[in-house]
Amino acid sequence: MSDLPHIFATKPSRGRSLEKGTFWVFRLATYLVLACGLFVFGDIFVKGAGTVFQTSFPFVNTTFLTHSPESLYVFEYDGKKQEMGDTEFRAFREGEETKAKIAGKPAPKFNTESYVYSAGGIWPCIVGTVLLVVGSMTIALVLGVSSAIYLNEYARDGAFVRFVRLAILNLAGVPSIVFGLFGLAMFVLALKWNVSLIAGWFTLAFMVLPVVITASEEALKAVPKGFREGSLALGATKWQTIRSNVVPYALPGILTSSILGIARVAGETAPIMFTAAYVVRDKLPWDVDKVSDFFFQGVMALPYHIYVVSSKIPQNEYTERVQYGTAFVFLLIVGLIAATSIVLRNKLRSSYKW
């Protein structure tokens, strides 16, 4: 004891070393998770940036973002390797043939290699994904928050309510491909909606419902009982109390659940494979004759496009560009929608502070 500087100095012991050791285990585990995340995002950003950005003005590859997918033609001309999309190539070929005709020379032959979906852009996919996310999250929030309010505020505790909660929990464990098959059986075939936006909306909504219900219930439970009692004691009805004294204060929690839901809904391929997604489609969703046609048309979607370009066609450097570019754009869009949700949540938090 005499070699310690003073009476409150740390006494070295095995217990203390163990404390330090466990601290470092937790810290390293966190850093490992961070490293994996950075690696995944970094890989996509670095490789995708090559497709999405360009060195010349306007620095963003607007073709990629605003055109439909096309086939890519690669050929040699004038000793240089040329890459052209379908429309550009046809115009180019016509131009060369006309020039040759005028000059009296024979029509030039182009030795091309063509790659499907490797040129043009992914605009219809972006539109399709945004539509799918907005529609399915609306349905999920309406159904989910209503269920959460019923289960938390109205339903009496009993065997039935416990059964409902168990069913919702089990729904969370169903694989997404099974949701796809359910959507196919119920919405596409039985209700005869065919492969359509609306079938995709409902399939995705049911998939994300457990998350929304659980998080909304937690948010409602967190609102103090005193708010409800105080309101009822003044002669308010139950719904008046819930509407003006409970739900507004639970909204930030409900929106958090929607942020989680958005990321899932935007990225799932299996549920939309059979219910809403087309491999390729010429028309954009707003090219419809009647308003009702809008809901009953299929769309292209970003995750499905990545799947198609990665597995349905032979792989090469050109398809890799499209894959990473699509993944990059996908992350950007999900990030944007989530950021909007976060901004909205923060605004609500500050106005409904308690």
Q: Give the contacts of 248 (CB within 8 A, at least 6 positions apart).
A: 348, 352
CB atoms within 10 A of CB 158: 8
Backbone φ and ψ for 76, nearest 5 degrees, come out as -100, 135
Q: Near other proteins by CB under 8 A, which window of 126-134, 195-203, 235-243, 283-291?
A: 235-243
**Nearest residue (CB) to other proteins, 93 versus 349:** 349
β-pairing, 80-85 vs 113-120, is unpaired
**Nearest residue (CB) to other proteins, 22 versus 237:** 237
Q: Give the contacts of 244 (CB within 8 A, at least 6 positions apart).
A: 231, 236
Q: Near other proteins by CB under 8 A, which window of 199-207, 240-248, 252-260, 327-335?
A: 240-248
Binding characters for other proteins, 117-156, by CB under 8 A (x = yes)? ---------------------------------------x
- Please identify which residue in 11, 15, 78, 157 interacts with other proteins, judged by CB under 8 A: 157
With contact defined as beta carbons under 8 Å apart, do 124 and 67 qualify?
A: no
231 binds other proteins (CB under 8 A): yes
246 binds other proteins (CB under 8 A): no
Whole-number Å distance between alpha carbons of 52 and 225: 51
Q: 286 — alpha (psi -120 to 50), left (phi > 0) or beta?
A: alpha
227 binds other proteins (CB under 8 A): yes
- Please identify which residue in 189, 230, 336, 339 interacts with other proteins, judged by CB under 8 A: 230
With contact defined as beta carbons under 8 Å apart, do 141 and 258 qualify?
A: yes
Site for other proteins in 25-64 (CB under 8 A): none
**Nearest residue (CB) to other proteins, 84 versus 242:** 242
CB of 244 to other proteins, least distance (A): 8
With contact defined as beta carbons under 8 Å apart, do 71 and 90 qualify?
A: no
**Nearest residue (CB) to other proteins, 37 versus 230:** 230
**Nearest residue (CB) to other proteins, 305 versus 345:** 345
354 binds other proteins (CB under 8 A): yes
Nearest to 330 by CA among 126, 176, 61: 126
349 binds other proteins (CB under 8 A): no
CB of 60 to other proteins, least distance (A): 45
**Nearest residue (CB) to other proteins, 236 versus 284:** 236
Q: Which two tokens stand for residue 100?
A: 């040759």
159 binds other proteins (CB under 8 A): no
In one letter, which amino acid is 251? L
- Please identify which residue in 114, 194, 245, 310 interacts with other proteins, judged by CB under 8 A: 245
Whole-number Å distance between alpha carbons of 310 and 321: 11
What does the chain come to in residues? 354
Radius of gyration, CA atoms only, the chain: 28
Residues forming contacts to other proteins in the complex (CB under 8 A) are: 156-157, 224, 226-227, 229-237, 240, 244-245, 249, 352-354
